[in-house]
Every structure is written in C-alpha cells, then in structure tokens.
Structure 1
Amino acid sequence: MNKFYTFIFLLFAIPAISWGQNDTLYLNNGDMIVGDLKAMDRGVLTIEPTYSDSDFKITWEDIVEMKAVQRYLITLTDGQRINGAFRSAGEGKIFLDNEDGEDLTVDQNEIVNIKSIDNSFLSRLSADIDFGISLTKANNQRQLNGNLRMGYLEDRWSADLYYNTLITKQDDVSDIQRNDGGIGFRYFLPRDWNLGADLAFLSNTEQSLDLRTTGKIGLGKFIERTNSLYWNVTGGVAFTGETYAPVFDPEDGTTITAPSRTSLEGFVGTELNLYDIGDLNLLTTVVLYPTIISDDSVEPGRIRSDFRFDAKYDDFIIDDLYIRAGFTLNYDNRPVEAGKEVDYIFTTGFGWSW
C-alpha cells in the first residue's frame, strides 16, 4: 500500500515540480502565461507557452508581474550587464538575482534587453536574411539584391557579420554591381561605453571601386537606450586602401586604371534605432571619414561619408518573416577621374529572422 501512495504522490508531484521551473507572466488584462521566456528586445518580450509550440510576443509595458527562473543576460539603461534570474518585487520593480555580484532592484523600464543564455553556441547567435528581385520588360532588365546579417553575443562582448549585394543586368548595357560586407567586434565597458574594431569591404560600379578595404578602431557611447530607441555615437581612426576597376575610354580605344590609394582617416558616426512603432523598426546610420594622412594619389581635403536608412516591418503574415526597405548612399568629394562623387541604391525584399 505504501508503494501505491508513493506512486500517486510522484504522479502529481513531478508535473508540479516541472511547472514550478517555468517562467510566469501576469498581464495587465488579468491573463497569466506560463512557459519558456526566451528574450526581450526593443520593448517586446518573447515567450513560448507550455501549451503551444508557437512563440507569443508581448509588449514589455503590458506585463505587471513576472518570475523568470532560468539564466539570462540582462542589460540596463545605464549599460550594466547582469547574469542571473529575475522576478517582480512590487509595483513596477524588478529584483535581479545577480550571479556575478551584488543583487539589485530596478524599475521595470530600466531593463532594455533580456536574452536567455546557456552554454550552447546557437543560444547566443542571431541572423537576418532577405532577398529581393525585380524584372522589367524594357531592355530585359533584371535586378537581384540580397542582405545577410549575423550576430553573436557573449556576456561582455559581441561580434557581427554582414554582407549586401546588388546585381543589375540589361540588354546593351554593362552590368551594374555593388557589394559590401564586413565584420565587427564590440567590447562592453561600464556606463554604456564600448570599444569597437571593424573591417569593412566595398566595391561598386558607379565609383569605379574594385575594392575599398577599411579597418577601424574606436570608442563608442550610448547616449540614450530605452525600450523605444537607442542612440549610439562613435569616433576613432581608420586605415583605408582602395583599388579601382579599369575603365574603357571610347575616344582613343584605351583602357585606363586609376592608381590605388591608401590613407589614414579619422571617423565620427552616429546610429539611431527607433522601434516603439508597432512592428515597424527604423534604423539610421551616418559616418564621416576626413582624411588625416594619405599618399600622393589622394587630393588634400578629402572627405568620405556613408549613410544608411532601413525600414523593417517584422512578423509579416507569420512570425519571424519581415519586409525590409533600405537606402544606402556613399559620398566621396575627391573621387578618381572615372568615378562619381555619389553612389546610392534603394532596395526592398522579404526576409526571415532567427
């Protein structure tokens, strides 16, 4: 008989214990959700309920009480990065169980990012990929564009990789191509400062660029970071090397190739991301590169600039599917003879986030 009662106890106790290990949310409409809290970013929390394989997305400000028992990397508005669990500690207050130091209690709106972290590589990886295509009967024009971005997050540093391509073909006209990509590294310092190192590549037909390689190292600071926006500024030095594509001169039938360039540049930039607009995400980046030291092939007073604007609409039709429209502009006030001062592109595409 004792074995029978033990069996009955375990039958009910084991599910109760499992239930107790789940994360719990209470919403301002009275609903309660129990499940696996995955992340909170840009003011939206993602949780997989115990009764569904599909993720739920909930606005951070709609949560009035919560308890999360897993291990998370939690980022605050002042730049602090904390590892541990968290739970509500009164109205609008969150207690952070800091496994690396002193526990603390903060306002709910001071938490700007939460990511479920374990020791696996995939739990720290994120990716966006999208494609777009257009066809025009006139001149049989075809255009293809693709964009890839990947990121990896550790407790004190992050790395990212990106690649963008545009190819345009049409009858009786030379192909137009543009490719840019790069890798970047960020080490997070106290009070929202960060050290950065980047290596970027660019080639485009309009400016006769066969390849521009830019290595940058600098210091950045988040001026503002909330659940509706972030604004970051950076500055430092960059080393740039450029080679140019040969250009055919129809007047004398010869092919001319501009001499390669090398230069040491300063750079100053800013990035603004607005995301408290429903499912719409707006990103603007501007970077200026004044030349400091250059070889004889670069005229004095050279200034380059890169501008980027992206509008991304998340969860289009289904979760993780998005629509993106982007505008990119590159300016050089001292281009080579065969190149243009300005190159810009506008692209659209459908993509998937992971």
Structure 2
Amino acid sequence: MAIRTPAAPTGARVLACIGVVLGLGLIGATPSVAGPKVDTVVLDNGNRLTCEIKQLERGRLTMSTDALDTVRVYSGRIREIVSPRQFEVERADGTLHFGALATTQPRGVRVEISPGSGIDLQLDDIVRITPIEASVWQRMDGHVDLGFSFAKADLETRYTVNADTEYKSKRYAAEVVLASQITSREDAERLARNQLTLSGSRRVGPRWSGGTILQLQQNEELSIDLRTVAGAGVTRYLAQSNRTNLTLFAGLAYTREQFTGEEIKGRAEVLVGSNWDWFTVTNDHVDLSTQVLSFFGVTGGSRTRLELQSAARFEFLKDFYFSVNGYGSFDSHPPEGRANSDVGMSLALGWSF
C-alpha cells in the first residue's frame, strides 16, 4: 500500500491560475471603440447590412451595426462582402492575402491587393478574415465554463473549471488553457486535478509553424504533487476549413515531476500530439474538440504517457453554451503502488468571447 504524505498547499496556486486565465479572458472580452460603418454584407435573402466587419472565423462572420449592435452571421448565408478597409484573408491551404474586399460574383470575394490588381476567392475557401488594424484584444478568443455536481448518497461534491484564451496574429499565436477538477467526499480525502498549459507558435509556412509548450500538472488521484513539462517542436496543419481543424505536433520535451513521498526526477521525452476541432455552421451551433498528447521516454527508462482532453459545447444563447468535458491520463510505468490511469467527465455551463 502506498503511503501518502501531506502535500504542499495547492489552493492558492489553483486560484492564482484561475485568476490569470479569467483575467485574460475578461480583458480580451472588453468592448473596443466602435469603428466606422463602411463595410457592406449582403445576405442570401437579399438583405443588405451596412456594418463594421470584426472577424470571420470558424464559419461565422462577426460584425457591428448601428441598429443591431454586434451580430454573427453564418458564412453559408452570405452572398457578398465589400469593404474599402484593409484585411488579412486566410485560405484553407494556409495562404495569406492582404487588401480591401470587393465582389465579382455571388459568394465570391476579390482581395484587392493594389489598384487594378487582385485575387478572386470563394467564400467557402476562406477560413479567416481579420481587419489589419485589429488590436491585440480583438484578436483574442476564448471560453470559460463552470460545473458543479452533488450526490446525496455519499455526499460527493465536484467542482470543475475549464478556461481557454487564444491569440492569433499574422505570424504568431499564443494560448493559455486551464482545466481544474476538485472532488470531495465525506468518507474520503479530497482529490484535485489541475492542469495549466501555455503554448506559443510562430508561422513558418502556409501549413507549418514552430512552437513551444509549458505545462504544469497536479493530480492527487495519481499521487502527482507537481509535474512540469517544457517542450518545443513543429506543428503541421493537416486540415483547415469552415467546419474542422486538424493539426499534428511533434517535438522534444523535458519533464520534471514529484510524486507524493518520492524524490523529484527529470527526464527527456519525445512529444507527439494532435488537436482536432469540428463545428457546425448553422443556428444550432455545436463545437467538438479533442487534444491528445503522447510522451515517450528517451532517458530514465522506457515509459509512455498519454494525456487526453476533450469537450462538446452546445450553444443555447448568443455566447452561452452547455458543455460535456472529458479527460484521461495514462502512465505505463508509475512509481510502485501508484495508480497508472485517471479518467473523468463533467457537465458545465459556459460563456465564450
């Protein structure tokens, strides 16, 4: 039987991490000063909207109008987009174009690079449109969801917090992800699982980027007081459209971890991971996401670890959703007497920005 020794207090660290992520999200969601309404969007029913285009991403166009404030329209309902302003336009193959927007045919977009010179694209081939003058905060997206459950039979209470803040520019991207689950029962010790991931990348080609990752983990179910992972590698964008994104990541990482009652140990690992997102482009907005990270030991003996994080989000009001979140951890060679896997699922209510 494994002997558990008291771990260092973690509540303050967890609250600090939650505060950082939520703070970034609130800053990112701060309304910006409205710009001039010089853009025109024509819908498939013939309605013409004079607006300020904020962004097109994940199959939805966000724009600001005088009459309706901020409006989101699904790209499949758009017939024309016209604007004299300068935009950054990204195609499904990762190619970037810069210029004003005009139209030559229904669901066609002409990116006017210079007077008399432009490139004709189809809306279905465009995955992102961002104003070139967009501020840092306007380029941020994210979500926060909270979950709570209670079982009377064993007086079990479970709290969950999931948060994600992402920033994208022409060349750089950064993301902060927090996942926290705390379970308490009357007849057992409290169990906490906390994971904070920070990542950054730089675009090096239409479908390639180089990046780094830093991950902090605590998992009392697996007797992990603190695991720190720092790595770097390359990312390949395998698929990108208005319905799905699929990326593959490979690189090297160094892991430093302390199990309860054990010495701190470090080792080098090969890191292979993948991210998959699928989303609908209808009024019933559904978003599915899964991240898998695999670690293969290079030093310190043969060892394989697997980390899985997934979520299904169902929007029921503008910017508000229900979510089903799942996670899993596997370790092929944990310290003697320690569990080698941990899985869980939670329901939550969330807000996206």
TM-score, normalised by the number of residues in structure 1 = 0.83
* Higher relative contact order, structure no. (Cα contacts within 8 Å, ≥ 6 residues apart): 2
Alpha-carbon distance change, 98 to 204 in structure 1, aligned in 2, over 3 angstroms: farther
Q: What is the aligned partner in structure 2 of residue 280 from structure 1? A: 286
Instruction: Give yes or no for contact 2:160–2:346 (8 Å, CA) kept in 1.
Output: yes
Change in 2 beyond 3 A, CA 1:92/1:174: same
The aligned amino acid for 1:303 is: T
Task: Assess, with a 3 A threshold, how the Cα gap between structure 1 residues 50 and 220 changes in structure 2: closer, same or farther.
Answer: same
Could you give the per-residue CA deviations for residues 46-99 of structure 1, whole angstroms, max 9, x where no partner exists?
Answer: 22222122x322221221111133343322112123444322222443111348
In the alignment, the residues of structure 2 paired with residue 319 and residue 292 of structure 1 have an alpha-carbon distance, to the nearest angstrom, of 47
Identify which range, 303-312 or 90-99, moves more after superposition. 90-99
Counterpart-to-counterpart distance in 1, 2:49 and 2:80 = 11
What is the one-letter code of the residue matched to 2:339? K
Q: Aligned pair 1:206/2:221, yes or no?
A: yes
The equivalent of 2:304 in structure 1 is: 303
* Corresponding position of 1:326: 325
Distance (whole Å) between structure 2 residues aligned to residue 163 and residue 217 of structure 1: 20
Is residue 62 of structure 2 the alignment partner of residue 46 of structure 1? yes
Equivalent of 1:292 in 295, 298, 304: 298
> Which blocks of at least 5 consecutive residues in structure 2 are unaligned?
1-34
Q: 1:1-354 residue pairs with structure 2 within 5 A?
A: 21-53=37-69, 55-98=70-113, 103-118=118-133, 120-245=135-260, 257-276=261-280, 278=282, 279-294=285-300, 300-314=301-315, 316=316, 318-354=317-353
Question: 1:21, CA displacement in angstroms?
Answer: 4.8
Cα pair 1:207 1:338 within 8 Å, conserved: no
**Equivalence for 2:26:** none
1:10-45 superposed Cα distances (whole Å, 9 cap, x missing partner): xxxxxxxxx995211112222222212211111111
Distance 2:220 2:132 in 1: 43
Q: Is the 8 A contact 1:116 1:123 kept in 2?
A: no
Letter in 2 for 1:69: P
**Letter paired with 1:347:** S
Offset at residue 149 of structure 1 (A): 1.1
2:37, 2:50 within 8 Å by CA — same for their partners in 1?
no
Shift of 1:277: 6.0
User: 1:221 is matched by which residue type in structure 2?
Assistant: R
Size of the aligned set, in residue pairs, is 315
Distance 1:28 1:236, change over 3 A: same
AA in 1 matched with 2:330: Y
Contact 1:329 1:343 in 2 (8 A): yes
SS of match in other structure, 1:109: helix
Aligned to 1:13: none
TM-superposed CA distance for 1:339, in Å, is: 2.0
Mapped partners of 1:208, 1:277: distance in 2 = 42
CA RMSD of aligned residues (A): 2.0
C-alpha displacement of 1:147: 1.3
Q: Which residue of 2 aligns with 1:250?
A: none
Q: Does the 8 Å contact 1:208/1:338 carry over to 2?
A: no
- 1:277 to 1:77, Cα distance in 2 relative to 1, 3 A: closer
Who is 2:14 aligned against?
Answer: none
> How far is the alpha carbon of 1:103 from its aligned partner?
4.1
Q: Distance in 2 between matches of 1:241 and 1:260?
A: 7
List gaps (5 residues or longer) in structure 1: 1-18, 246-256, 295-299
Higher alpha-carbon deviation: 38-47 or 193-202: 38-47
Q: What amino acid maps onto 1:241 in structure 2? A: R
CA 1:140 to 1:75, structure 2 compared with 1: closer, same or farther past 3 Å? same
Q: How far apart are the structure 1 equivalents of 2:84 and 2:327?
A: 43
Q: List per-residue Cα deviations over 1:207-262 (Å, max 9, x = no partner).
A: 100011111101111111111111111111111111112xxxxxxxxxxx123221
Aligned match of 2:9: none
AA of the residue aligned to 1:293: T
Mapped contact 2:60–2:281 kept (Cα < 8 A): no
TM, length-normalised to structure 2: 0.84
CA-to-partner distance for each residue in 1:115-145, whole Å, 9 max, x for gaps?
3353633222223111111122223221111
Residues in 2 aligned to 1:197 and 1:97: alpha-carbon distance in whole angstroms: 35
Secondary structure class of the residue paired with 1:189: strand
